[in-house]
Structure 1
Amino acid sequence: FGLLIFSGRIGAPPLSHHAGEVELVACYGISGWAWDNYQPKAKVNVDLWDGEHYLMTIPANQFRQDLADAGYGNGQHGFRIATPLLVKDGHSHEIHFRIAGTKQELTNSPQVIACP
């Protein structure tokens, strides 16, 4: 006989309680949405990373009727910003969009962009 000690979890990891999507990445702007299923009316922040280099955090707090109609809380979960100047240098950048403070990427992340 042997002794087996297990102190972990068996099975699939729990499903994330966040959802979100990158919808536009262009030289003039970036947009999408992020939502917390556990706190449907809470504002969610999104971290932008250029590869492994942190760029900025943006709030996903803009009202969008399509999100409200789809049942995403109060619909105040959109984001839209001008493309950061740091990536407008003529080089290619792989931009990751993550729920702030986590490694969880939004749907359609990462996105590659090259702007003059």
Structure 2
Amino acid sequence: MALLGHVGTLTHRQIAGWGWETDAPDMPLWVLIAIDRKVIGRCRADQFREDLAVEGIGTGWHGFSLDLPAGILLPKEGYEISVRREGDGQHLPGSPYVLEPAIRIVPDL
């Protein structure tokens, strides 16, 4: 099955995007989100996104979002984030992603 998708929001507090299987256009898919190869969440890509509907990507109901509790990802750390289709583990296009540190500590000179 052809897998299309994109992660548009990648922060230390939220991961959001969309995923769609062209061979099952009306079926929402499940995605697994992992940090440094450890699965931290599972989302159903069934949220409506007007941009997808306008572009003719399925029904437009292919968005997903995972809110991360404070402290799971430390702002001064960077991480490798993967977003994969549940079942066969195929990565969304562009995955794995690199989340750079949000805070850089500069020592006093």
Larger radius of gyration: 1
Aligned residue in 2 for 1:24: 9
Q: 1:69 aligns with which of 27, 34, 54?
A: 54
Closer, same or farther: CA 86–39 of 1 in aligned 2, 3 Å? farther
**1:109 and 2:95 aligned:** yes
- Mind listing any 5+ residue stretches in structure 1 that lack a counterpart? 1-15
Instruction: Give the match's secondary structure for 2:7.
Output: strand
Q: Alignment identity in percent?
A: 31
1:42 Cα shift?
0.6
1:49-92 CA distances to partner (integer Å, 9 max, x unpaired)? 12221212111110011111212111100112323546323432
Closer, same or farther: CA 115–97 of 1 in aligned 2, 3 Å? same
Aligned residue in 2 for 1:8: none
- Mind listing any 5+ residue stretches in structure 2 that lack a counterpart? 104-109
Instruction: Give the match's secondary structure for 1:87.
Output: coil
TM-score normalised by L of structure 2: 0.78
Question: Alpha carbon RMSD of aligned pairs, Å?
Answer: 2.0
User: Would you say the 8 A contact 1:34–1:44 is kept in 2?
Assistant: yes
| 2: CA distance, partners of 1:86 / 1:93 | 13
Aligned residue in 2 for 1:96: 82
Aligned length: 101
